[in-house]
Chains A and B, each alone.
Chain A
Amino acid sequence: MTGGRIHGYKTEAVVLRHFPIGEADRLFVLYTPNMGKVRAVARGVRRPKSKMSGHLQPLNRVAVSLTEGRDLDIITEAEAIAVYPSIRNDLTKLSAAMFLAELVDGFSEERSSSPSVYKLLTSALDLAEVTDNPIQLVRYIQTRILQMSGFGPELRQCVACDTPLEPQTHLFSSSQGGIICPNCRSESGHTLMPIPLNVLKVLRFFQQNHAEKALDLQLNAQLLGELERVLDGYTRFLLERDMKTAEFLDLVNPHRVKKAFSIADPT
């Protein structure tokens, strides 16, 4: 201690993730409306007598009090504002919500305010709690997070020459953030992903509509799989890594029940 005043502050937050450190502490990555991402430590929360541990669970919406520390801030109080029992009791919803939390984590910076992303995250959790199609919700929110982070893909005209696109299968360029038309194709040496017309249409619809409308679309498992391929490919390019939660989400995806149970037959 250098004798300076200890600054405390209160904020609302969503718990994005946590991991154990020290004897009984945890490090939390919180997402706040006015400070963006905040990393903070809660002391003793792995002990059963801790009053905070039940509140500070990943994906909970919490009211927290913090004091500024040397490296990391310290969480001194925490109380849940919203918990999501339906998400916690459904493996697909839980994995979907974790995936969205990782996306927000990946596309946000520490101490960089973005109330609109916070609003999107909390509404995503509210929707995940009640939806019966968490996979479609994931793809919708993923599209919106890309947009809000300034990476919304160009889907109406060629990113290279601005020519409006013909209604046909196109190629998506992650490095240029949009569709590249047949004329410009040869000039691009980057890896391109084929994007069928119906996938293109769904993504355009997602970009322009609210969640309720986006979730009303009837998308089959194949189309959802195509959306995943394009969105995750683009996300991987932007984050320069795989999403950690993607594999587990894939494993428990109800559209791929067979894969989830392949482990039951060890050879």
Chain B
Amino acid sequence: MNSNNSHRRQDAGPVARLIDELHKLPGIGPKSAQRLAYYFIRMPEAEARSLAEAVLAVKERITLCTICCDITERSPCAVCDDTTRDRSRICVVEEALDVRALERTRAYNGLYHVLHGVISPMNGVGPDELKIKSLLERIKSDEVEEIFLAMNPNVEGEATAMYLHQLLAPLGIKLTRPARGLPAGGDLEYADDLTLSRAIEGRQAF
């Protein structure tokens, strides 16, 4: 380890900087960051340029849908813009990846709302850090009849669902949650399509 560190300090510059940047990515430890960095060094310049441009294009072209807060290239997003979808239902999810997972099942034809996180008091994340105000504004203005609270089946997901329930119940809207069967503690985005479909179709009153 020590020899690695001193080696890095000697050539502190583009390589060390790249390793540091890669290390910040989710799921990339120091070893993987190094391996990836040296892979990039050996990469043909055209490929490296194409990768860099793809990253920049995402930052330039991707935005949040002004209605549902999903990540999209144009706002409103394709789902919010689709007139065949059932506008009386909103499925609230933690992350944009959850929308992809639920869409894959084709079991749900309503709209979405992406919170971009989950209430996690232990990690210092409260309701103000999530897209909750925009959800409330939507409920007030749109003709919403059902809010489907599709949080992950774990403590933070349950806390978020209970908080939203406390917040929304006085507004007199039907609140539902996934049917039992989602594996406790797992992330929704990893659930298989059949389990997810069942969780949607069998959703029950909160």
Contact of B123 among A94, A95, A244 (CB under 8 A): A244
Number of interface residues of A (CB under 8 A): 42
**Least Cβ distance of A30 to chain B in Å?**
13
Residues B120-145 near A (CB distance < 8 A)? 120-124, 126-127, 132-133, 136-137
Interface string of A147-178 (1 = CB under 8 A from B): 00000000000000000000000000000000
List the one stretch of B50-58, B73-81, B158-166 in contact with chain A: B158-166
- Nearest chain A residue, comparing its CB with the CB of B166: A91
Given A98-B122, A260-B166, A266-B133, verify A48-B191 contact (CB < 8 Å): yes
Cβ of A50 < 8 Å from any Cβ of B?
yes
Cβ of A88 < 8 Å from any Cβ of B?
yes
Complex: how many Å from CA A155 to CA B136? 47
| Chain B residues whose CB sits within 8 angstroms of the CB of A260 once the complex forms | 166-167
Complex: how many Å from CA A262 to CA B75? 29
Question: Do B124 and A261 touch across chains, with their CB atoms under 8 A apart?
Answer: no
| Chain B residues whose CB sits within 8 angstroms of the CB of A263 once the complex forms | 127, 132-133, 136, 167
Question: Do B190 and A47 touch across chains, with their CB atoms under 8 A apart?
Answer: yes
Complex: how many Å from CA A249 to CA B122? 11
Question: Do B27 and A22 touch across chains, with their CB atoms under 8 A apart?
Answer: yes
**Least Cβ distance of A51 to chain B in Å?**
10
Complex: how many Å from CA A263 to CA B164? 11
Question: Do A54 and B162 touch across chains, with their CB atoms under 8 A apart?
Answer: no
Number of interface residues of B (CB under 8 A): 36
Complex: how many Å from CA A183 to CA B186? 60
Question: Do B163 and A88 touch across chains, with their CB atoms under 8 A apart?
Answer: no
Complex: how many Å from CA A22 to CA B28? 6
Interface string of A72-98 (1 = CB under 8 A from B): 000000000000000011110011001
Interface string of A41-59 (1 = CB under 8 A from B): 0000111111011111111
| Chain A residues whose CB sits within 8 angstroms of the CB of B158 once the complex forms | 88-89, 94
Contact of B155 among A46, A88, A99, A245 (CB under 8 A): A88
- Nearest chain A residue, comparing its CB with the CB of B122: A17
Given A91-B166, A94-B159, verify A50-B186 contact (CB < 8 Å): yes
Please, could you name 14 A-B residue pairs with CB atoms under 8 Å apart, sorted by A?
A22-B29, A23-B26, A49-B183, A50-B183, A54-B183, A57-B184, A88-B155, A89-B162, A94-B162, A244-B121, A247-B121, A248-B126, A261-B167, A264-B171
Interface residues of A (CB under 8 A from B): 16-17, 19, 22-24, 45-50, 52-59, 88-91, 94-95, 98-99, 101-102, 244-245, 247-249, 251-252, 260-261, 263-264, 266
Not counting A263-B136, A266-B137, a sample of 14 additional A-B residue pairs whose C-beta atoms are within 8 angstroms of each other reads A17-B122, A19-B120, A22-B26, A46-B190, A48-B191, A52-B185, A55-B185, A56-B185, A57-B155, A88-B158, A91-B162, A99-B121, A248-B126, A260-B167
